[in-house]
């Protein structure tokens, strides 16, 4: 759960599963199918074939394709949170550095898991009312809100100011992640790793600056 790399490469072809690990095997197969063929082409039959199990196995565990996508998105949010926390562990402890690190982890996850990232943030197929998905997705959002609020110091912003601040930071980081996974920021991607990261940090921190009051 704490591995933020893309596990889909581990499931290249149908392989036997061990009793008691079928659900995990199916999720890995589903993520591999998602990465290879996209959301619209995903089918329980293809997942079962890749996992090397009976066609009935995915339906038994997940009900239908949307149930599978819901479980996959839930697992994605767990890894998404882990990616942000991994960055935060090696960052300075002040709120600004912690929020910036979370933003870098956000981008790390998107680049390592582009298909899963789009499922989590761009698809209406997962059921966000399902407790298994609602919990980790809400935790991810709460972490963002708490991180933004902490950067405002001892004078907490009003509710509207907090909403605006959260929207500003989230929009900036998500936009960067989306553009990078779509390979639209070629000039940024062409930079050396250290230069690219320094620029990303500067962009994220720009979104964190408090807006002047009118």
| Euclidean distance between the first and the last CA atom of the chain, given in angstroms as a whole number | 46
Q: What confidence tens digit (pLDDT) does each residue in 30-43 have?
A: 999 999 999 988 99
Query: 180 near 107, Cβ under 8 Å?
Result: yes
Inside any domain, residue 158: yes
Q: What confidence tens digit (pLDDT) does each residue in 81-111 have?
A: 999 999 999 999 999 999 999 999 999 999 9
CATH number of 164's domain: 1.10.357.10
Structural domain that includes position 74: 63-208
Inside any domain, residue 188: yes
Inside any domain, residue 175: yes
Inside any domain, residue 174: yes
Inside any domain, residue 24: no
Inside any domain, residue 44: no
Total tally of structural domains belonging to the chain: 1
Inside any domain, residue 10: no
Query: 36 near 28, Cβ under 8 Å?
Result: no
Tokens standing for residue 138: 């809400």
Specify the residue for token string 């996209």. 38
Tokens standing for residue 74: 């839930």
pTM confidence score: 0.86
């Amino acid at each position: 759960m704490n591995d933020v790399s893309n596990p889909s490469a581990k499931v290249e072809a149908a392989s036997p599963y061990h009793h008691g690990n079928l659900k995990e095997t199916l999720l890995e197969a589903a993520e591999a199918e998602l990465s290879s063929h996209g959301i619209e082409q995903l089918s329980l039959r293809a997942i079962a074939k890749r996992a090397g199990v009976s066609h009935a196995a995915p339906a038994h565990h997940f009900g239908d394709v949307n149930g599978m996508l819901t479980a996959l998105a839930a697992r994605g949010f767990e890894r998404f949170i882990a990616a942000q926390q991994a960055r935060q562990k090696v960052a300075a402890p002040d709120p600004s550095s912690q929020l910036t690190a979370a933003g870098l982890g956000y981008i790390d996850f998107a680049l390592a898991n582009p298909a899963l990232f789009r499922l989590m943030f761009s698809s209406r197929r997962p059921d966000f009312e399902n407790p298994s998905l609602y919990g980790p997705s809400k935790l991810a959002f709460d972490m963002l809100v708490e991180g933004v609020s902490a950067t405002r110091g001892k004078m907490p912003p009003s509710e509207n100011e907090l909403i605006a601040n959260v929207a500003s930071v989230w929009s900036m980081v998500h936009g960067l992640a989306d553009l990078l996974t779509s390979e639209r920021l070629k000039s940024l991607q062409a930079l050396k790793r250290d230069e690219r990261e320094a620029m990303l940090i500067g962009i994220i921190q720009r979104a964190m600056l408090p807006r002047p009051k009118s």
